[in-house]
A and B are shown apart, each in its own frame.
Chain A
């Protein structure tokens, strides 16, 4: 049992639980805001009299709360946990991580307040108003201190793949945020360069920050749950460096056909094709997750499948012929939801299902809520991406017909957008179930009078449905 719940778990609870709790609160908040935004997409009069809750703001609020509230908090918590475990010691400098967590979330709250009062930036994945960037950067750095100390004090000289991805996320986010802040806020580039910088940031936020956080979890959990060494592990480093060097260069694919130099789109097309090598390596290494297992591995296998499908779709739509049909349709939103929700968020769910029993020393409070969360998440994501994809197909066909009026296109896509709203509601229910279960489980560690009941590992996992 000692090998299962290590000092790195029990002595590192405070910052990890705080980050996860903040993350879950933002997850539910983003779900509510996303639901409102989704309703407004097909029923524009809904809450249109309330300036704070008009579509332009609710969409940005939902995205900001999801990315910087949920994904960042949960991703950082799991990255710290993994790095701490691989170091074999409790996390050091936990005070810095705690303070960083508090200030990071104050920054997110300030950003949401700014967006709600009209300071949204309009840039994809960078809805944070410029004035919160500095607090976000320093609080992120304070959280990262614990992770970097654990990384530098690792037990093995040669790090694992989960090390690489977690450390890369810790190091690279401050860099991309700084560059984006300068080029878009403090000394804003003019004209088309601004669109290029915004596209670069959006792609880097995914490939150099959120995707590594999710992949770090997958590379850590899969071999432990399956009990097998990762196959073709010698390729893992090539896949990692391919993502780091090529990932950021794919941002130009969103600008195909735009008034940008042709080489930017060409570099993006070639980079998107090169990135398929990374995707192939991830599939090769982690294919064991598809052979079943506990609840954590179910989420992770779904997340890996979504990651691979998303990468293939991204590569396909980087070609002019296909982009001509998918650009300016709901396809972009479907692709974004597949990446953020289907891949990153689901990988983090799997990581939390694996980590929390080890951090708290207790099994999940309710197996029923765990199964409900899995069912609602999978159904919600499939329905959401499927509905937006179907709406994109109709929209694409209609847009190529000059005789079809814009209002008619909106009418044709409405049933599918209603489907997307239903999906948001399903996801919200699932996330509420997850949050209730998490809070109930985490609260058990606060009952100091009750001795910790260290169960065997099999009992700590909720059974797979």
Chain B
């Protein structure tokens, strides 16, 4: 069986190839080159002096540790001391131990 030689592939223009490559890479360029570069960095990756005041505590491991220590101290003070929560409404804060005693007494007095 004699076969005619198959025609050679038509050459592709370099412009068409380049256009296709650019088109398919455009997603990457837009995503990585534009979005990722202009996305605000996480506070821990920024220089401390570039951060706004309310986020300055996130800048370094030391500042985060100090912030956590302050936060816990404040919470412990609140959980262990007396104070007003809302003076007008008559709502007070009392130490957790005392609050537990009152709750136990209240439930114990119920019949």
Contacts and interface: CB of A to CB of B under 8 A. Distances in A.
* Interface residue tally on A, bucketed by range: 35 or more
Given A179-B31, A181-B31, A452-B3, A138 B25 contact: yes
A12 B8 CA distance: 10
Contacts of B89: none
A181 B6 contact: no
A190 B42 contact: yes
* Chain B interface, >50% SS class: helix
Interface string A133-165: 010011011101100110000000000000000
Contact of A141 (B1, B3, B20): B20
Contact of B3 (A93, A144, A454): A454
A142 B20 CA distance: 9
B44 to A, nearest CB: 10
A457 to B, nearest CB: 14
Nearest to A149: B12
B32 A182 contact: yes
* Chain A interface, >50% SS class: helix
Contacts of B42: 190
Contacts of A174: 24-25, 27-28
A392 interface: no
Contacts, number: 81
Interface of A: 1-2, 7, 10-12, 89-94, 96, 134, 137-138, 140-142, 144-145, 148-149, 171, 174-175, 177-179, 181-182, 186-187, 190, 452, 454
B17 interface: yes
A443 to B, nearest CB: 21
B36 interface: yes
Given A145-B17, A145-B20, A145-B21, A12 B9 contact: yes
B24 A90 contact: no
Nearest to A176: B27
A171 B32 CA distance: 18
A94 B9 CA distance: 9
Contact of B10 (A1, A89, A96, A140): A89
Contacts of A1: 1
B12 A134 contact: no
A141 B7 contact: no
Contacts of B32: 178, 181-182, 186
A12 B9 CA distance: 8
